[in-house]
Amino acid sequence: MTNTNDMNSVAAVGFQDAAEIYEQARPSYPHEVIEFLKSLCPTPTTIIDLGAGTGKLTRLLLTLDAQEIIAIEPVASMREKLKLIPLISRIIDGTAEHIPLED
């Protein structure tokens, strides 16, 4: 039986090697997602994209005109793709279990 830590390391290796394929193959999010988020919070100051991947959702979040957009992503090759997107305030190495931000 594989424990959770082994699965996480297997996933990390797989995503590390596949950032370019992921960026090309993964569909974008529907624009309705942004409209829904606007209805919940019309004037956000900070947005955190947790598990940002290559930035598919991050690009759409930029249209919300927040003061700060923070992308948190554990896979280094995915973070490299995020660096190509202008206007992201910070790109941070982290996971849902370990979010390296102040509460």
In a 13 Å sphere around the CA of 33, the CA atoms on its Cβ side amount to 12
Predicted structure pTM score: 0.79
**Rounded to whole angstroms, how far apart are CA atoms 103 and 101?**
6
Of 18-22, 52-56, 60-64, 92-96, the least confident: 18-22
- Summarised one tens digit per residue, pLDDT across range 26-83 is 888 999 999 999 999 999 999 999 999 999 999 999 999 899 999 999 999 999 999 9
Q: Where are the domains of the chain?
A: 4-92
**Rounded to whole angstroms, how far apart are CA atoms 39 and 15?**
33
Q: What is the pLDDT of residue 91?
A: 98
> Which is it for strands 90-92 and 68-72: parallel, antiparallel or unpaired?
parallel
Q: Does domain 4-92 have CATH number 3.40.50.150?
A: yes
Closest CA to 69 of 79, 61, 80: 61
